[in-house]
């Protein structure tokens, strides 16, 4: 048997060289995330903090700027308001008496007692003396400057139950004793035509008429003084329009005018409130 030569001996062997194909990674190695490096993380945190800090400063600065602008606007508005608004002055009215007075004539009004009347400022027959007015308590005296107030003429004001007539009020206020009721009476009088139609007049008089003056004066002592009519002019007046008061007028035996026509001051009396 012929022996063939060994071909393997003729083949030159190639030396082992490193392979250029990278090794294939395992599936488990590919799925794992690559952790970031520590240095990059620190840089990122620092940058983020700086961004937040700058943003906060910017927001604060913007807020302060808006507040200042708002304050300036408010101040401007206030200044403009002060300049442009004109205060409205308070208007007050004073009641005036539209009645025209004669030369030398005056009018007296008592707000406290609620009555008024006219008078001439000079005493009749003697112009050197003036007519004076003085209010004391519930009386108003009309007198000459050469006399004391209490010696002059006067009007005295009384309160009254509005449901009572003048006669009822006089009975209650003055004829309130058995002696007065036995000796005195109330008499209605026709008012002077200068009084308004709502005015009524009455007197307290003696029940009995005495021709003997001495007996008359003795009987007058049994009636209320000075409210009983004697030898001078006196009477009570009442206005239905003012039911809570009435007045006693004491004149005596002389007159004080209210005008140049001879009308006396007491004939101009009016209740006012």
Burial zone of 233 (CB within 10 Å; 0-12 exposed, 13-18 middle, 19+ buried): middle
Burial zone of 203 (CB within 10 Å; 0-12 exposed, 13-18 middle, 19+ buried): middle
> Model pTM?
0.63
Closest CA to 206 of 193, 216, 192: 216
Does residue 39 fall inside a structural domain?
no
Residue 130: per-residue pLDDT: 93
What's the rounded mean pLDDT across residues 203-217? Answer: 89
Does residue 178 fall inside a structural domain?
yes
Does residue 221 fall inside a structural domain?
yes
Cα dist from 186 to 38, 115, 203, 227, whole Å: 127, 24, 6, 11
Which of 15-19, 178-182, 210-214 tops mean pLDDT?
178-182
Cα dist from 261 to 122, 154, 247, whole Å: 14, 21, 25
pLDDT (tens digit per residue) in 141-176:
999 998 999 999 999 999 999 999 999 999 999 999
Is it the case that residue 231 has pLDDT exceeding 60? yes
Is it the case that residue 127 has pLDDT exceeding 90? no
Does residue 254 fall inside a structural domain?
yes
Residue 220 contacts residue 207 (beta carbons within 8 Å)? no
Does residue 227 fall inside a structural domain?
yes
Does residue 96 fall inside a structural domain?
no
Q: CA 184, CA 216: separation in Å to the nearest integer?
A: 12
Does residue 136 fall inside a structural domain?
yes
Does residue 213 fall inside a structural domain?
yes
Range of the domain at 262: 105-271
Residue 114 contacts residue 271 (beta carbons within 8 Å)? yes
Q: CA 180, CA 171: separation in Å to the nearest integer?
A: 10
In this predicted structure, which of 12-16, 61-65, 102-106, 208-212 has the lowest mean pLDDT? 12-16
Cα 4 to its chain centre, rounded Å, is: 148
Residue 170 contacts residue 186 (beta carbons within 8 Å)? yes
Residue 50: per-residue pLDDT: 73
Structural domain count of the chain: 1
Per-residue HEC secondary structure of 87-150 comes to CCCCCCCCCCCCCCCCCCEEEEEECCCCEEEEEECECCCCCCCEEEEEEECCEEEEEECCCCHH
């Amino acid at each position: 048997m012929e022996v063939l030569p060994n071909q393997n001996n003729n083949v030159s062997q190639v030396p082992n060289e490193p392979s250029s194909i990278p090794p294939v990674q395992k599936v488990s190695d590919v799925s794992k995330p690559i952790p970031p490096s520590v240095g990059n993380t620190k840089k990122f945190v620092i940058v983020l903090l700086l961004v937040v800090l700058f943003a906060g400063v910017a927001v604060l600065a913007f807020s302060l700027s808006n507040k200042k602008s708002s304050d300036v606007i408010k101040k401007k508005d206030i200044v403009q308001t002060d300049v442009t608004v004109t205060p409205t002055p308070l208007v007050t009215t004073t009641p005036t008496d539209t009645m025209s007075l004669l030369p030398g004539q005056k009018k007296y009004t008592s707000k406290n007692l609620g009555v008024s009347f006219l008078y001439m400022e000079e005493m009749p027959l003697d112009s050197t003396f003036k007519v004076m007015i003085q209010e004391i308590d519930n009386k108003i005296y009309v007198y000459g400057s050469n006399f004391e107030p209490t010696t002059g003429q006067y009007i005295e004001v009384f309160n009254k139950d509005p449901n009572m007539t003048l006669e009822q009020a006089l009975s209650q206020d003055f004829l309130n004793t058995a002696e007065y009721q036995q000796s005195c009476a109330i008499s209605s009088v026709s008012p002077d035509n200068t009084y308004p139609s709502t005015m009524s007049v009455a007197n307290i008089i003696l029940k009995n008429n005495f021709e003997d003056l001495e007996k008359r004066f003795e009987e007058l002592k049994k009636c209320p003084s000075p409210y009983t009519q004697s030898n001078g002019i006196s009477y009570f007046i009442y206005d239905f329009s003012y039911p809570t008061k009435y007045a006693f007028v004491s004149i005596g035996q002389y007159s004080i005018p209210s005008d140049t026509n001879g009308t006396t001051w007491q004939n101009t009396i009016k209740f006012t409130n």
